[in-house]
Amino acid sequence: MLISLVGLPGSGKTTVGRQLSRRLSVPFFDSDHVIEQRLGCSIREYFDREGEDSFRDLEAAVIAELTRGEACVLSTGGGAVLRAANRTCLRERSHVVYLRSSPEEVFRRLRHDRNRPLLQVADPLQRLRDLFAQRDPLYRETAHYVIETGRPSVSSLVNMIMMQLELAGVVKDVLTPRQDTRKT
């Protein structure tokens, strides 16, 4: 079982993905971190030096590779859905969860983050609104499940995802950490 997370930068894909992978007892991969390890530099540096098209080529190759593997949770970069090949690959090879966050919510989380190349603009909130308008339909096209992130805790988001996966028959007999498994 491969679970992929898509959504805007700052929607919680990495944070939620790590906890979800622990809950499912499967490895976690963040496609952006895999790319940085291979490049030996930050995505921002590569983006500045080589441009977005070159980065998207590399991202597509990494996503194709990671979705061919064993069971895992995969957090994708916010722009991974911009390429049709990535959308198809993710949708056909994994169960895709869209962590849907409003531009305002993402801005609140990211307003001090200087490591997001697409947000290093004069009006980052407007940039997020533009990204949302462009990408929301693509995230929805790719996703099997949509989870509204709002302000729930990470563990609540993981529980919501687990419930969706259980209802869909992807995982069985999901126990929350508080459930007692002793037979009486």
Domains, the chain, in order of start with CATH, read 2-167 (3.40.50.300)
116 is known to lie in a ligand binding site: yes
- The DSSP letter of residue 106 is H
Q: Is 79 annotated as a binding residue?
A: no
101 labelled as ligand-binding?
no
Q: Does residue 58 carry a pLDDT above 70?
A: yes
Q: What is the C-alpha to C-alpha distance for residues 87 and 128, in angstroms, rounded to an integer?
A: 20
**Which CA distances in Å does 132 have to 49, 52, 95, 104, 154?**
26, 18, 22, 10, 22
Q: What are the distances in angstroms from CA 97 to CA 74, 84, 109, 137? A: 10, 17, 20, 14
Q: How confident is the model at residue 70 (pLDDT cuts 50, 70, 90)?
A: confident
Backbone angles phi, psi at 12, to 5 degrees: 105, 15
Which of 90, 77, 63, 99 shows the shortest CA–CA distance to 3? 90
pTM: 0.89
- Contact of 139 with 87, CB cutoff 8 Å: no
- Is 150 flagged in the annotation as binding? no
Residue 61: CB atoms within 10 A of its CB come to 12
172 annotated ligand-binding residue = no
Say if residue 153 carries a ligand binding annotation: no
Annotated binding-site residue? 14 = yes
Mean pLDDT of 162-181: 72
Provide, rounded to the nearest whole percent, the portion of the chain with pLDDT above 70.
91
First to last CA, the chain: 32
Q: Does pLDDT of 174 surpass 60?
A: no
pLDDT for 113 beyond 80: no
What is the Cα gyration radius of the chain?
Answer: 17
Q: Say whether 54 counts as a known binding-site residue.
A: no
Is 142 known as a binding-site position? no
